[in-house]
Amino acid sequence: MSTKSPCQTCGAPQGTLRHCVEPRAGLKPLLLGNHVELLKCLYCGVLWCYASHGEGVSAPAGLRWPYTSTDWQKAYDLDDGASLRRWHFKNLKEASAHVDHPCGRRICRFRSRK
C-alpha cells in the first residue's frame, strides 16, 4: 500500500471515520472495554476506536486511533474507558461534520449534542 492511495479495507490514511452498514468489515478486535473497543485493520494495520453514544444506537462508529494499542489500554485503565468515550464523542462530532452520508446512517446527529 502506498502512502498516496487509501487502504482498500479501511480507507486509511485519508479515511478517519467508519460508519457505513458494515463498519467493522476487515477489522480484527484487539481490546474490548466498557462501551468502547479497539480494532485493527487486517490489511494495513491501522487501529480504529469504536464506541456507541446515546440511547438506541445499535451500530457503533469507528474513528482512526492515532496512537498505539498500549496507549489505548492505558487510557482505558485510567477510568474504565470514560475518557476514551469522551475522546471518541468529541472527535466523532468533528469528523462527522465533514462526511457525506451515502449509507443513510445519520451520524451527523452528534453535531448538535454537547
The whole domain housing 59 covers 17-100
- Assigned domain for 8 exists: no
- Assigned domain for 10 exists: no
Please tell me what DSSP assigns to residue 79. Answer: H
- Assigned domain for 2 exists: no
Mean pLDDT for all residues in the chain: 80
- Assigned domain for 77 exists: yes
- Assigned domain for 114 exists: no
Of 18, 19, 80, 74, nearest to 47 by C-alpha is: 18
* Residue 7 to residues 23, 34, 51, 84, 93, Cα–Cα distance (Å): 14, 29, 22, 25, 23
- Assigned domain for 44 exists: yes
Model confidence pLDDT, tens digit, residues 37-90:
999 999 999 999 998 876 655 667 889 999 999 999 999 999 999 999 999 989
- Assigned domain for 11 exists: no
Query: How many folded domains does the chain comprise?
Result: 1
C-alpha grid cell, residue 6: 487509501
C-alpha grid cell, residue 61: 462508529
